[in-house]
Chains A and B, each alone.
Chain A
Amino acid sequence: MAAGVAAWLPFARAAAIGWMPVANCPMPLAPADKNKRQDELIILNVSGRRFQTWRTTLERYPDTLLGSTEKEFFFNEDTKEYFFDRDPEVFRCVLNFYRTGKLHYPRYECISAYDDELAFYGILPEIIGDCCYEEYKDRKRENAERLMDDNDSENNQESMPSLSFRQTMWRAFENPHTSTLALVFYYVTGFFIAVSVITNVVETVPCGTVPGSKELPCGERYSVAFFCLDTACVMIFTVEYLLRLFAPPSRYRFIRSVMSIIDVVAIMPYYIGLVMTDNEDVSGAFVTLRVFRVFRIFKFSRHSQGLRILGYTLKSCASELGFLLFSLTMAIIIFATVMFYAEKGSSASKFTSIPASFWYTIVTMTTLGYGDMVPKTIAGKIFGSICSLSGVLVIALPVPVIVSNFSRIYHQNQRADKRRAQKKARLARIRVAKTGSSNAYLHSKRNGLLNEALELTGTPEDEHMGKTTSLIESQHHHLLHCLEKTTGLSYLVDDPLLSVRTSTIKNHEFIDEQMFEQNCMESSMQNYPSTRSPSLSSHPGLTTTCCSRRSKKTTHLPNSNLPATRLRSMQELSTIHIQGSEQPSLTTRPPPTTSK
């Protein structure tokens, strides 16, 4: 039931008295209104902005947050108001929904923020009013496409499991930028397509005369050379086609795709020509087949994205093109008929029949005006001018639609490319921020340990080395520390190569972490191939350098820290270490050069 109509329920019930005298049976009892509260104003404080409304207004929609008892969770006893820590701008729309029964979508609002708010208040976006629903759906679709785009490119870049030979080849065909071999292949095929097209064109150019006969086109003069070129190109194309046939995951779908059909059509004429004998009748058809060689130029669409976009645009504007064609046909027939009858009177007129007038009409409507057919009578000229004026209109109408479609798709593509380029920078920035926070943890841990060590050793100096951390930070750090204690490992900054010690010992020592990190970074930069074993052997030297810079405190362990992602590999390592060096690692004074 709509919102305001709920207020008319008393009226509808009262009007039911009209049925009473006619009723044959007794009426059921009216439901008793148990909680007969006086309608009161309730205050909703959303991030400081106070909204007030009647309680009954909110209760119109009992399956939302504000209409149900769920809002009691947000009730603030001290100020006797409901406090929500959310965006007040969007709340305005939400509250208007209760008041008017219509949910509107403000255009300036970000679509995902709006969705989040709606989800929070338990309102389904489907009830957005007609005035705003289209806009909402459009923006949502755009956003979804964008996210899907991002996900796709992510998946493409990050899926580096070992692919089969076939799969690598398919990927190489689809994205030439994945490997140098693919790039080479891409350029070679492009070159040969160009060569083939130019050959076809030059073949027909008249090439000077052989004495004693008329001018010959180049193709016949140097027929052997051209034949060789053609053969070479077709070889390359055939090999390419066979490779493409072998690679795709779904051959059936590939065979049906447009590009594969173009490939086949491009190389077929040559083979048919080989098979064909020099029969007179058949060679006429064979010549026609040569026309299909020009389709090789379409193979360029694999190399040019703009061409693909153009093709896609034409496909998506099929209805507009169809309309254009239909209206043109209608107009042509009308005007051709009129012109034919108008010009019937004049002598020696070229408008011999209506189909003959078609040519005049087309030439006039597209404003070509060859002038080979011209009306001579006055009526003919009048109708001819009307024809040309209307031609301009009919053709000009669907064209902007096609253009705008093309522009939209093209810009979308450009945006996708731009986003991909920016993505790398964005991810790098995010990574830096993340390491910053983990650095903060290690920093605080160091300070914490230092304080512990200080307490143990009893030196009064350097007490206030640690910065005061916020409550949330300290709780977060405590959490990470608990994790460390649970697993028996501890965190390392960006260096999986260093040894992991079981940190069962109370007296954690730390070393000058900055130097430690520096050294570890350096060595990790040098020594980080994909394998891990060489790193083990480099440890002795490593730990020597690191441990030589120990602070003057008491016994210590090289404190190794790990990023959480490498924890698994490090656990593996740690078992190796523990097995390798059980006793020394568990004592408080391990020899620093113990190989781990």
Chain B
Amino acid sequence: MLTLEWESEGLQTVGIVVIICASLKLLHLLGLIDFSEDSVEDELEMATVRHRPEALELLEAQSKFTKKELQILYRGFKNECPSGVVNEETFKEIYSQFFPQGDSTTYAHFLFNAFDTDHNGAVSFEDFINGLSILLRGTVQEKLNWAFNLYDINKDGYITKEEMLDIMKAIYDMMGKCTYPVLKEDAPRQHVETFFQKMDKNKDGVVTIDEFIESCQKDENIMRSMQLFENVI
């Protein structure tokens, strides 16, 4: 008998608890009371970043492009990034459109870091122009400097084997899976070994900027290929 009583009592309590919870939820839904405190901050998310580049004349003076070339470049830039800056996501997206077969996100990441000279997480038009100016209109020395900067991931002035391996893997990733001959597992490593043999003069396991530039200047292929993209615009 007692158990029956307890059962009914228990069920009554359960019923009352259910009603109370439901009414609380209803009030919360109606906005009269608030449970969580962090709802306000969601509103200010995604403040649009807007960046306007410097004047055309200034850019013309800074870079080696003519006014017309700058205009063409800016139009393309602004079309893709109306807000005036490229963040890493967009950068990766754009770059991957050129390499549909492989995965170019890693290499794009390194490229982004190379372009984003002030390391603020966004590439503005000035950064873009500065980079392109070096690559397309710069001297061989400047280009090699830029390439060294690209390979030196932690920007400490030395290229280690690990850094080079990362870069190499990223480049091979861009090719994708369907290649001929089929990509071997240790091909990047082999490639890094070849590179270090060529570049590392004092065999200390790292490549400094001077070693790099010196070795490249001795290699005819590299010298010739540096001139390849002069007439891109």
Which chain A residues have a beta carbon within 8 Å of chain B's beta carbons? Answer: 1-27, 29-30, 33, 38-39, 54, 99-100, 341-342, 344-346, 377-379, 382-383, 386
CB < 8 Å neighbour of A22 from B11, B14, B167: B167
> Is the pair B79, A18 in contact by a Cβ cutoff of 8 Å?
no
Write out the residue numbers on chain B whose beta carbons fall within 8 Å of the beta carbon of A4: 76, 79-80
Interface of chain B residues 203 through 230 with chain A (CB within 8 A): 212, 216, 221-222, 224-226, 228-229
Q: Can you show 8 pairs from A to B with CB atoms below 8 A apart?
A: A4-B79, A10-B136, A17-B143, A18-B151, A21-B147, A24-B194, A30-B228, A30-B229
What 0/1 pattern do residues 124 to 153 of B give for CB contact below 8 A with A? 000010011001100000011011001100
- Which partner residue on chain A sits nearest B98 by CB separation? A12
| A20/B18 contact (C-beta < 8 A), A4-B80, A9-B98 known | no
**Quick one: CB contact mask for B49-75 with A, threshold 8 Å, 1 for yes?**
000000000000000000010001101
Minimum C-beta distance from B99 to chain A (A): 9
- Contact between A15 and B111 (Cβ–Cβ < 8 Å)? yes
- A456 and B221 CA atoms in complex are apart in Å by 93
B37 to chain A, nearest CB (A): 31
Interface size class of B (residues with CB under 8 A): 35 or more
Closest CB-CB distance, B102 to chain A, in whole Å? 13
Instruction: Tell which of A14, A19, A345 touches B4, judged by Cβ atoms closer than 8 Å.
Output: A345
A14-B232 contact in complex given A5-B97, A20-B226, A22-B171, C-beta closer than 8 Å: yes
Could you tell me if B5 and A345 are in contact, using CB atoms closer than 8 angstroms?
yes
- Inter-chain CA distance A286–B73, complex, in Å, is 90
B158 within 8 A of A: no
Find chain A residues with CB under 8 A from B143 CB. Answer: 17
Complex CA distance for A15 and B143, rounded to whole angstroms? 11
Contact of A17 among B11, B147, B167, B195 (CB under 8 A): B147
Interfacial chain A residues near B73, Cβ < 8 Å: 10
Q: Could you tell me the distance between the alpha carbons of A63 and B141 in the complex, rounded to whole angstroms?
A: 42
Which chain B residue has the least Cβ–Cβ distance from A56? B72
Chain A residues with Cβ under 8 A from B132's Cβ?
Answer: 10-11, 14
Q: State in angstroms the CA–CA spacing of A24 and B151 once bound together.
A: 16
CB of B191 within 8 A of CB of A24, answer yes
Report B13 CB to chain A, min CB distance, Å. 9
**How many Å from the CB of B170 to the closest CB on chain A?**
10
CB contacts (< 8 Å) of A23 on chain B: these are: 221-222, 225
Tell me what chain B mostly uses at the interface: helix, strand, loop, or mixed.
helix
Inter-chain contact A379/B191, CB cutoff 8 Å: no
CB-based nearest A residue for B233: A10
Are B18 and A386 in contact (CB-based, < 8 A)? yes
Question: Which chain A residues border B7 with CB–CB below 8 Å?
Answer: 341, 344-345
Known: A13-B232, A342-B11. 9 other contacts (CB 8 A): A8-B98, A10-B233, A11-B132, A18-B146, A18-B150, A21-B212, A30-B231, A342-B8, A378-B12
Chain B residues whose CB sits within 8 angstroms of the CB of A10 once the complex forms: 73, 132, 136, 232-233
**8 A-B pairs with least C-beta separation:** A7-B76, A345-B8, A14-B135, A379-B11, A382-B15, A4-B79, A27-B225, A4-B80
Interface of A is mostly: helix
A39-B72 contact, Cβ under 8 Å, with A11-B132, A15-B135, A378-B15: yes
**Pairwise interchain contact B229-A13, C-beta atoms closer than 8 A:** yes
Q: Is the Cβ of A21 less than 8 Å from the Cβ of B76?
A: no
C-beta contact mask, B18-49 vs A, less than 8 Å → 1, else 0?
11000000000000000000000000000000
How far apart are A8's CB and chain B's nearest CB, in angstroms? 5
A379 touches B221 (CB 8 A): no
Q: Are A22 and B225 in contact (CB under 8 A)?
A: no
B144 CB contacts on chain A under 8 angstroms: 21
Residues of B within 8 A of A14 (CB): 131-132, 135-136, 229, 232
Query: Which residues of A are found within 8 Å of B98, using beta-carbon distances?
Result: 1, 5, 8-9, 12
A18: which of B111, B195, B232 is its contact (CB, 8 Å)? B111
Q: Assess the A20–B11 pair: CB atoms within 8 A.
A: no
Identify the closest chain B residue to A100 (Cβ).
B79
- B147 near A16 (CB under 8 angstroms)? no
Q: Which A residues are CB-close (under 8 A) to B232?
A: 10, 13-14
Establish whether residues A19 and B171, one from each chain, have CB atoms under 8 Å apart when the complex forms. yes
Please name all residues of chain B whose beta carbon is closer than 8 Å to the beta carbon of A54 when the two chains form the complex: 75
Q: Whole-angstrom distance from the CB of B114 to the nearest CB of chain A?
A: 7
The interface residues of chain A lying within 8 Å CB-to-CB of B16 are 382
Q: How far is the CA of A346 from the CA of B7 in the complex (A)?
A: 11
Task: For A25, give the chain B residue with the smallest CB separation.
Answer: B221
In the bound complex, residues from chain A placing their C-beta under 8 Å from that of B8 are 342, 345-346, 377, 379
Closest to A10 in B: B232
Q: Identify the closest chain B residue to A382 (Cβ).
A: B15
Given A5-B80, A7-B77, residue A17 in contact with residue B222 (CB < 8 A): no
The B95-121 residues at the A interface (CB cut-off 8 A) are: 95, 97-98, 110-111, 114
**Complex CA distance for A17 and B137, rounded to whole angstroms:** 12
Instruction: Tell me which residues across on chain A come within 8 A of B222, comparing CB atoms.
Output: 20-21, 23
CA of A19 to CA of B73, assembled, Å: 23
A33 to B231, CA, bound (A): 8
A17 and B226 contacting across the interface, CB-CB below 8 Å: yes
B183 an interface residue at 8 Å Cβ cutoff? Answer: no
Which residues of the other chain, A, contact B168 by a CB distance below 8 angstroms? 22
Report Cα–Cα, A17/B5, bound state, in Å. 85
Cβ-closest chain A residue relative to B220 = A26
How far does the Cβ of A352 sit from chain B's closest Cβ, in whole Å? 16
* Shortest distance between the CB of A59 and any CB in chain B (Å): 13
Shortest distance in angstroms between B150's beta carbon and chain A's nearest beta carbon? 5
